[in-house]
């Protein structure tokens, strides 16, 4: 495993749409392992592949309930609303309030290509939305009403 460099918001790669993963091979597993290690090293709750320079639909999340690996994730259902501060490892020192669904259901594949679904509420729902946005080239900065340097 290795810690990878996290690209910051100035990098055009963060604005690009990611391609689906087609091969569930050792290269994918290495990417997933490295992304988890990089996320933990930086005290993040989520990381998307474009943040380490890879334009593939791969996400890791840990909101304190254990590591979740998502390959080719899609949100299949959402309900309710929440408004909370959000940040991003690619936008250090910037926070903004973003409206997100309170609950979401995600359908994804695991590292072996097996399809599963996972429900998330509150912070986990937010993390699902934020990371899947990254795969579409969307940063939370575009969704927040106001960006601040510290959470109020």
Pick out residues in 1-20 that bind Ni ion (CB under 5 A): none
Pick out residues in 66-105 that bind Ni ion (CB under 5 A): 88
Instruction: Say whether 94 is catalytic.
Output: no
When the beta carbons of 60 and 71 are compared against Ni ion, the nearer one is 60
Cα 150 to the chain's mean position, in Å?
21
When the beta carbons of 70 and 88 are compared against Ni ion, the nearer one is 88
* Rounded (5°) CA angle 72-87-102: 65
Tell me if 35 contacts Ni ion by CB under 5 A.
no
Of 131, 142, 150, 152, catalytic: 131
Burial letters 31-57, b for 16+ CB under 10 A, else e: bbebbbbbbeeeebbbbbbbbbebebb
When the beta carbons of 52 and 88 are compared against Ni ion, the nearer one is 88
State the nearest-atom distance from the C-beta of 46 to Ni ion, in Å: 7
Tell me if 135 contacts Ni ion by CB under 5 A.
no
- Tokens 């910051």 belong to 8
When the beta carbons of 88 and 104 are compared against Ni ion, the nearer one is 88
State the nearest-atom distance from the C-beta of 26 to Ni ion, in Å: 26
| Number of residues engaging Ni ion in binding (CB under 5 A) | 1
Backbone region of residue 17 per phi and psi (left: phi > 0; alpha: psi in -120 to 50; beta: other values): beta
Catalytic residues: 131
Write out the residues near Ni ion by the rule CB under 5 A: 88
């Amino acid at each position: 495993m290795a810690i990878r460099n996290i690209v910051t918001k100035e990098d055009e790669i963060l604005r690009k749409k990611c391609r689906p993963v087609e091969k569930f091979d050792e290269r994918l597993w290495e990417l997933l392992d490295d992304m988890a290690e990089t996320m933990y090293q930086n005290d993040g709750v989520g990381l998307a592949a474009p943040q380490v320079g890879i334009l593939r639909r791969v996400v890791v999340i840990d909101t304190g309930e254990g590591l979740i690996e998502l390959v080719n994730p899609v949100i299949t259902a959402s309900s309710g609303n929440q408004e909370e501060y959000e940040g991003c490892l690619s936008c250090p020192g910037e926070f903004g309030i973003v409206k997100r669904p309170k609950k979401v259901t995600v359908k994804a594949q695991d590292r072996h290509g097996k399809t599963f679904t996972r429900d998330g509420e509150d912070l986990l729902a937010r993390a699902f939305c934020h990371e899947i946005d990254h795969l579409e080239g969307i940063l939370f900065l575009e969704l927040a009403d106001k960006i601040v340097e510290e959470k109020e």
